[in-house]
Structure 1
């Protein structure tokens, strides 16, 4: 007899115990990334790369998320989120988990990766191990390449503590003796210019054949720092790094020109408030206390590290070491057969909707679509959103050619795409020089939707050709991120996309859309309606199922709706790469919900929403995650996959991810994750690799 599970009342589903702190969940994601650095099935240099990614992620976490919590603690220390934690309590939780993560990062580097790299003749040479010839070469390197651009600052009343750039490499130096002017402050600060490489490769003649020998810039500076302080004695030299608040604040109600406002904020990014301090673990307590006082920080945000203060720079090793045997095997992206058979992109799209799944499918058809649009006399107008595009983008070049060919080209650029603001400002100027109409979206709402519309005259008819995607128009990231892109000339979808562009450029009121859902207007309520529909099917005794694959699940009302779906007997499968505030497996609330995360060679990035709908399957793709910002503070589109053939393809992809027993992690009710265990005699399923192999065969 089945156990009776008491259903938890809807009102109680709002209680804090049903929600995981989003920042704790994000740190859990970084632990899963770091676990790949331990994974012996991953090539050695790729393991090093995973370590670097976990460190880079932690940098951004402090620059944005922790900075935000610190600000909230100052503004409203008693406010709580859905998890019931105050900002102060969140900072305590973050500190514990972040310190655990950093300790593990350096353990992985020092105890696992460096020894394993040595077995492959890839070496980090410590100062004590330099040979005489290496010492001579490094001395010469220091004199010629480093010394001329260093500017040590001895601290006294005329030389105050310098402004420290965000995430820069710095040294605090303890001194005795007097300089040429009779001064002795006892301390100096030395900032390593960003132009200097953080890792220096010893030349081939200084190493054995087949060896790659590297020295950290910090080691070189430590070794020869006394040359900067003639007549004085160096008591100690210690690395440190400061992380600052790098998020933007643009007062939407007080700005007249968004471009100028963003440019003004950019100038201040390197000097925001301090949020983290990393110092060499060998640094004396007195010096640590001095730096903490100087930056007005507590030990909660102090990290004493056993190695370089910026592990991200180790990624340079992957480029410098020419060893394919310790890297992922290169792969060739495929091109859909529809485009291979028909070089006319518009003719191919007229025949049927075409789906791209990156990185398995090439991004080249998207570029070719715009190139053909630029060259086609029948094309009258092109409209495009750009969030992140990369330097020297072929997409941008095609848009410029189209404008110069006399076509009406409109581009909506999001100036506030985090950490790409400067690139997007430069991009806007480049496009405007080519007579492209450039707008910056809507003040107060980031334009995050990925849309391209080509208006083409065919006989007496104007036809809208559309590309909609889940990821950015960035050729490089489409080789690293999983995303879907849809080509279609569906009349209603094309009309919807045209209306959204008109709204973004004219600021007119939103009009009713045929097939698209759009945030901040209809997406949230539309998702709730679709979940409620599955609940209704389940209550009638019919099969009901929801599969959602996204980067994050945070928004409280949608989480409550998914809890209610589980209570009604709806099968809910969530594939969530990063943050998930929902707790699966709680009796009476979420026992029908499974949450899994895939960490593999590629960054899982697509957003797919699938609803069984009583057997009349509905599948939507989007650039929107289940987050408050995507639902209410961004312009997003949620587009249907209408073709049954393409629906079945996506469902099959989802099934691969749901049965992955190699790269999958299963979330537990307490928010921790465990690797999916392969049952004895069960065949290994590795979704990303299987998709890669199939699409290249």
Structure 2
């Protein structure tokens, strides 16, 4: 499906209307940072359980890691190539980099203030103690010494020699910089060594305790015994640091005939790319600071001094400690779907009617089970599936290989260009090929991001296609943490569309016209524009017209402009945008009718759901695509209608629930500020809790109905 075959946009509904103001867009990068600030605000929220606050702090750190690797890395390359280019908000590349640096330094200061002033003292009160080894009790000293002796066998200090190349340091890996007194006869006043602290080493080192939990940090442990690693040398200073390398290195597919080899080269290039950030512990001397900034060519705006442990993703490990359930969220267990009988084959269940699963409130198990049953079902002829991100021990990949080994025709599109999952996907691709799966390594020039699985089955009345469409990846682990939607169907037209779509992708051909679905980069953008335009037309005709949309990011200028025009026409628009939102709501004469909210809670909001009122004939759709240029123009995505009235009604109710949240909801203002919605009186509504309780109630109702139903014994046939 070459990008050059893209269908042109439908006519702009705004043609012949007055021009829109130049300042109608927020900057994409700064908008993303405000999303991360909302996560950080949860870490600062005293109403959150204490260990959950640490989790949100770790998430902000992890988010910033990827932001610097990709977004800042990309801007720095852009600054070298064309610094004069401006984004839709009007900011130049260098202006964006300066604003990002200011915002990120402020965010980091707040991170460490929360940790040092709030969380560490509060954890201490509840029995979670960080031990200072220099003043530790003998019992802790003995345990720490024992752990160090075990770790020292794996540590490899690298003495730095000006006459030899600098050892290659991995990005995002914690290191210690050791400043040593010079040896006799050496002209230099000091020398340096690096100690890489491998990712397999635990950052949190447990220490013995009769009550509570005692721990020390890995870097503190190694620093305490560091002289043992340099016998006969005087250690002047030991400082933890970490560099972040530019990961915005893309494959030039036109120059790489072998995609697998090309991606391996990209991964290798990332290991040696320029550093875009240096994080350094606050106690570092000016000597160490100057040495590291010069060594890694770090400018002052890219240096981040940490007033606490470098790399706060280490807090993920602390959150998992046992025995402190009162400091964590109460567990919500994913429910089974009341519409799926575990004793009945999935094919029989789907044949009775479309099934909608709202994850993680309803388990992802039925999707896994469908593929596993297909792998061993003698009537299944073929399985076709797109894999973008999978789990490390994916049962779906195992089922696809099992199906191929049984002689079924299995095709998997494995996206090797899925950022930061490239290595895992290459490994899966090779394993599946060895098992007999026909593997396609994505499409040249595009990322295959659609979530689709097609199972072709021979039945007495002919060939039936069972299809799964989703908004999230085929990853049963993240499906317990992400809010997503699955549609299981054997609708003939959707099945035909699914096959047409898949064959167009695998055959790199132009697809025939679809009956119901739309796909990027050919028709998805124009379909969204048509849906928005239709609401404008219906509003003008006095019919019911409204738009409610849930996406992760809203960036695309053309789609935003179409929404502005709809607002100007009087169409009420409600947008639930988890992360980046470049649309400016609530501007008089431009976006008076647009409301933008964002939900941040225990689950990552990931589903893309759309509702167009359409004069009372509700149009409800799910999609793998966010409203961003990359998704609409440079990725293979799907937009799928949900036509079953009960399922449409359920998704509309899901969308409405988010707008009732007055606990974990944020509202975007025309100035770009996010204001938290907090109930000052009356009952509190927490959207994710409501969705979870509905799932629990649905199962209870189904069980109760089964118990009260009368079943007669029919005579034998």
TM-score, length of structure 2 as denominator length: 0.93
Q: Paired residue for 1:287?
A: 288
- Work out whether residues 543 and 570 of structure 1, in 8 Å CA contact, stay in contact via their aligned partners in 2: no
Give the CA deviation at 1:67: 0.3
Q: Paired residue for 1:456?
A: 457
Q: Paired residue for 2:7?
A: none
> How far apart, in 1, do the equivalents of 2:298 and 2:256 lie?
33
Q: SS at 2:549's partner residue?
A: strand
> How far apart, in 1, do the equivalents of 2:28 and 2:54 lie?
27
Distance 1:350 1:238, change over 3 A: same
Specify which of 165, 172, 193 is matched with residue 188 of structure 1: 193
Distance 1:325 1:679, change over 3 A: closer
The reply to whether residue 87 of structure 1 matches residue 93 of structure 2 is: yes
Q: SS at 1:674's partner residue?
A: strand
Q: Paired residue for 2:65?
A: 59
Q: Paired residue for 1:490?
A: 491
The reply to whether residue 45 of structure 1 matches residue 55 of structure 2 is: no
Specify which of 147, 155, 159 is matched with residue 141 of structure 1: 147
Give the CA deviation at 1:338: 2.4
Q: Paired residue for 2:125?
A: 119
Distance 1:178 1:80, change over 3 A: same
The reply to whether residue 162 of structure 1 matches residue 162 of structure 2 is: no
Specify which of 169, 179, 193 is matched with residue 174 of structure 1: 179
Q: Paired residue for 2:410?
A: 409
Q: Paired residue for 1:674?
A: 675
The reply to whether residue 644 of structure 1 matches residue 645 of structure 2 is: yes
CA shift digits 1:141-196 (9 cap, x unpaired) = 22x22323333333333454322210111222222241799986433332223332
> How far apart, in 1, do the equivalents of 2:170 and 2:42 lie?
31
Q: Paired residue for 1:35?
A: 41
CA shift digits 1:355-409 (9 cap, x unpaired) = 0000011111111111221222211111011111101111112112211221111
> How far apart, in 1, do the equivalents of 2:368 and 2:162 lie?
59
CA shift digits 1:109-161 (9 cap, x unpaired) = 1111111111111111123431233223322322x223233333333334543
> How far apart, in 2, do the equivalents of 1:136 and 1:435 lie?
55
Mark the runs of 5 or more structure 2 residues left unpaired by the alignment: 1-13, 698-717
Return 371-380 or 469-478, whichever deviates more.
371-380
> How far apart, in 2, do the equivalents of 1:597 and 1:29 lie?
9
> How far apart, in 1, do the equivalents of 2:458 and 2:81 lie?
56
- Work out whether residues 342 and 348 of structure 1, in 8 Å CA contact, stay in contact via their aligned partners in 2: no
Q: Paired residue for 1:211?
A: 212
The reply to whether residue 13 of structure 1 matches residue 14 of structure 2 is: no
Moved over 6 A (4+): 179-184
Return 338-347 or 453-462, whichever deviates more.
338-347
Q: Paired residue for 1:72?
A: 78
Distance 1:162 1:495, change over 3 A: same
CA shift digits 1:46-67 (9 cap, x unpaired) = 2111110110000000000100
> How far apart, in 1, do the equivalents of 2:674 and 2:379 lie?
54
Give the CA deviation at 1:322: 3.4
The reply to whether residue 600 of structure 1 matches residue 601 of structure 2 is: yes
Aligned residues: 684
- Work out whether residues 8 and 589 of structure 1, in 8 Å CA contact, stay in contact via their aligned partners in 2: no
Return 640-649 or 165-174, whichever deviates more.
165-174
- Work out whether residues 179 and 230 of structure 1, in 8 Å CA contact, stay in contact via their aligned partners in 2: no
Q: Paired residue for 2:708?
A: none
Distance 1:305 1:8, change over 3 A: farther
Give the CA deviation at 1:440: 1.4
The reply to whether residue 549 of structure 1 matches residue 550 of structure 2 is: yes
> How far apart, in 2, do the equivalents of 1:281 and 1:331 lie?
39
Give the CA deviation at 1:10: 5.4
Summarize the alignment of residues 566-577 of structure 1 with structure 2, pairs less than 5 Å apart. 566-577=567-578
The reply to whether residue 239 of structure 1 matches residue 236 of structure 2 is: no
> How far apart, in 1, do the equivalents of 2:72 and 2:260 lie?
27
> How far apart, in 2, do the equivalents of 1:9 and 1:319 lie?
59
- Work out whether residues 451 and 467 of structure 1, in 8 Å CA contact, stay in contact via their aligned partners in 2: yes
Distance 1:371 1:174, change over 3 A: closer
> How far apart, in 2, do the equivalents of 1:625 and 1:273 lie?
30
Distance 1:366 1:179, change over 3 A: farther
Q: SS at 2:340's partner residue?
A: helix
Q: SS at 2:153's partner residue?
A: helix
Return 326-335 or 445-454, whichever deviates more.
326-335
Specify which of 193, 202, 206 is matched with residue 201 of structure 1: 206
Q: SS at 1:635's partner residue?
A: strand
Q: Paired residue for 1:307?
A: 308
> How far apart, in 2, do the equivalents of 1:374 and 1:234 lie?
61
Return 527-536 or 399-408, whichever deviates more.
399-408
> How far apart, in 1, do the equivalents of 2:330 and 2:140 lie?
34
Summarize the alignment of residues 592-671 of structure 1 with structure 2, pairs less than 5 Å apart. 592-671=593-672
Q: Paired residue for 1:520?
A: 521
Distance 1:573 1:152, change over 3 A: same
Distance 1:363 1:508, change over 3 A: same
Distance 1:9 1:19, change over 3 A: farther
> How far apart, in 1, do the equivalents of 2:468 and 2:561 lie?
33
> How far apart, in 1, do the equivalents of 2:624 and 2:160 lie?
50
Q: What is the RMSD computed on CA atoms of the aligned residues?
A: 1.9
Distance 1:386 1:280, change over 3 A: same
Q: SS at 2:129's partner residue?
A: strand
> How far apart, in 1, do the equivalents of 2:505 and 2:15 lie?
43
> How far apart, in 2, do the equivalents of 1:109 and 1:97 lie?
19
TM-score, length of structure 1 as denominator length: 0.95
The reply to whether residue 250 of structure 1 matches residue 251 of structure 2 is: yes
The reply to whether residue 420 of structure 1 matches residue 427 of structure 2 is: no
- Work out whether residues 445 and 634 of structure 1, in 8 Å CA contact, stay in contact via their aligned partners in 2: yes
Q: SS at 1:339's partner residue?
A: coil
The reply to whether residue 531 of structure 1 matches residue 532 of structure 2 is: yes
Q: Paired residue for 1:3?
A: none
